[in-house]
Chains A and B, each alone.
Chain A
Amino acid sequence: MAKVKMTVNGRQVGSDCEDRTLLVHFLRENLALTGTHVGCDTTQCGACVVHMDGRSVKSCTILAAQAAGSTIVTIEGLAGSGELHPVQAAFKANHGLQCGFCTPGMVMTAVDMIRRHGANLDEATVRSELDGNICRCTGYHNIVKSILAAAAEMAGAQQAAE
């Protein structure tokens, strides 16, 4: 048992956990942030994706101890309370989810790929970038549509700001 400290969604937190505790369980059990999900045991499905120090990572394959001292953003921390991040809004407008279980991971992966590719995102790139996220409900079409819509919206908003 050791106290593991990190910054999560802008807040400094610390909690005792076993050395073998995975980051996803630390978030879900220790911090009661249940928006990040466990969908597999082989690092394949992406339901556990969070942002660690600015990059998307699979929290099921990182020990909480490895994340000590880092800055974590989960689905709960993406937007201010009551608001929706443009990616969240795009998923809502484009029916990019059904049961919702893969959705937090999809959204976090989407935010990361838009950050890296910006307005250059095309369908082929989105589909390739989604290789680490599995959905069993939607067949992916509307997820891709949502992400492209969000990317366009965010590029447009950025241009307007500049």
Chain B
Amino acid sequence: MGVEGIGASVARKEDKRFLTGKGRYTDDMSVPGMKYAFFVRSPYAHARIKSIDMSAAKDMPGVIGILEGKQLQADAIGNIICGWMIHSKDGSPMKMGAWRPLAHETVRYVGDAVAIVVADSMGEARDAAEAVVVEYDVLPAVTEAVKALEAGQPQLHPEAPNNLIFDWQLGDGAAADKAIAEAAHVTEITLRNNRLAPNPMEPRATLGIYDSAEDHYTCYTTSQNPHVARLVMSAFYNVAPENKLRVIAPDVGGGFGSKIYIYPEEIVCLWASKKTGVPVKWTCDRTEAFLTDAHGRDHVSTVKMAFDKDNRITGLKVDTIANLGAYMSLFSSAVPTYLYATLLSGQYAIPAIHANVRTVYTNTVPVDAYRGRAAGGDLSSRADYGDRGAGTRRFAGGTPPQELRADFPLSDPGDHELRRR
């Protein structure tokens, strides 16, 4: 007989249903009278919507309804918010532009949703969506954050001149500057932490059900946090008061952060269910996932690391430009600030650190936390420039990387404890 109690292997409860095809993922859900939704999305990175012509589409077989941003606006459905206030160095609040769940006058990234088609079957919804004619006035677009800050670039939101959302800092700038000025050696490098697409195996899906008899909404959705979804959808997006909204996350096939946020699709499917009088299910396909699931990272950082003559790191100064995409996602402001700069020391005791972070709008998919938030950026950056710092020292007749590391004994927990302030 095996071990019991502490040390025993505890088998997972969910494996049996996952292994036998009895998992209940959102797209597996079905309710009587359920219909299917497909979103019409912008093929342009930046454009004004001139007109939306549904005349051909709405008469196509199986179509129940086609809804657009103007109607969403008229029904007072709220804009998507970023829930974490960050102030710039000058004390001003972050410049949050409006993110309408269905674009109203302007589309700001390829994939920005413009209309929702509800039909009897997936195929019919897709066919009708292709027959919706949207006339766009195409505008110049900018996709690189560094470029978007320059003068003369396309401006995404009137609230954010030069596309700057906020200019934030953390740490002791004077001490870091002093360490650099007095250093025996300074290594400076530019690091690019490229954009990532989370791509959990299960694409996002939502089943929005409005029950007119009870005046009550139910939302099955691929969410990592259904309670947050309910709170945000009732308090900010005005979908329904909290006591009239039930959010259920059944089995979820991976998220890694990308299923934390409340996306346009959940809000619109619930609203569409009320408008059309039928339960509305939307399932993302993989191409759509690349276009609409929150992306990760997309930082460019200039890093300066100061060393004394014994190869100890005496100071670190980081200047990061972080691309947040076309709109501010739910936690996007917290990611390159408190979930990043606070971690720059890593496992080393660096006495003087300063970080400056500027966040920028560009005509790209919104960026938010993705598995380890931006930590991947800081730790690999640091290890990287730690190595490069040592490498440069070696080329200049300095110490090889192994000796640099030896100054920071990681294997001795006592010493590690001492160094953690």
Which chain A residues have a beta carbon within 8 Å of chain B's beta carbons? 18, 20-21, 25, 28, 32-42, 45, 47, 74-76, 78-79, 84, 88, 91-92, 95, 97-104, 107, 134-137
Contacts and interface: CB of A to CB of B under 8 A. Distances in A.
A101 B25 contact: yes
B27 interface: yes
Contacts of B19: 75, 84, 88, 91-92, 97, 100, 103, 107
5 contacts: A32-B30, A91-B15, A99-B254, A100-B15, A100-B251
B21 A74 contact: yes
B92 interface: no
A93 B203 CA distance: 27
A32 B30 CA distance: 9
A99 B200 contact: yes
Contact of A136 (B12, B199, B287): B199
Contact of A35 (B20, B27, B283, B287): B20
Given A38-B27, A99-B253, A136 B200 contact: yes
A102 B14 CA distance: 14
Nearest to A82: B20
B28 A41 contact: no
B416 to A, nearest CB: 27
B18 interface: yes
Interface string B260-283: 000000000000000000000001
Contacts of A36: 21
- Among A42, A97, A101, the most chain B Cβ lie within 10 Å of the Cβ of A101
B33 to A, nearest CB: 15
B254 A101 contact: yes
B20 A88 contact: yes
A20 B14 CA distance: 34
B291 to A, nearest CB: 12
Determine chain B's interface SS by DSSP, over half rule. loop
- Among B11, B30, B201, B251, the most chain A Cβ lie within 10 Å of the Cβ of B201
A47 to B, nearest CB: 6
B21 A92 contact: no
Contacts of B18: 97, 100, 103
Interface in B233-258: 251-254, 256
Contacts of B312: none
Contact of B285 (A18, A41, A91, A137): A41
A88 B16 CA distance: 8
Contacts of A98: 254
Determine chain A's interface SS by DSSP, over half rule. loop
A47 B23 CA distance: 13
Given A92-B15, A97-B15, A136-B254, A34 B201 contact: no
Nearest to B283: A38
A39 B21 contact: no
Given A34-B28, A38-B285, 20 more contacts: A35-B21, A38-B283, A40-B286, A75-B21, A76-B22, A91-B15, A92-B12, A92-B16, A92-B19, A97-B15, A99-B200, A99-B202, A99-B251, A99-B254, A100-B15, A100-B17, A101-B25, A101-B253, A136-B200, A136-B256
Contacts of B22: 35, 76
Contacts of B17: 100
B123 interface: yes
A101 B21 contact: no
Given A37-B202, A91-B15, A100 B122 contact: no
Nearest to B124: A18
B201 A99 contact: yes
Contacts of B199: 136
A40 B288 CA distance: 10
A18 to B, nearest CB: 6
- Among B23, B122, B203, the most chain A Cβ lie within 10 Å of the Cβ of B23
A101 B286 CA distance: 14
A20 B123 contact: yes
B20 A135 contact: no
Contacts of B25: 34, 37, 101
Contacts of B253: 37, 99-101
B21 A34 contact: yes
A25 B201 contact: no
A38 B201 CA distance: 9
Shortest Cβ-Cβ A-B pairs, 8 listed:
A35-B21, A100-B18, A101-B253, A75-B21, A34-B28, A101-B201, A76-B21, A40-B286
Given A92-B11, A100-B14, A33 B21 contact: yes
A39 B19 CA distance: 17
B123 A76 contact: no
B21 A136 contact: no
A32 B21 CA distance: 11
A45 B287 contact: no
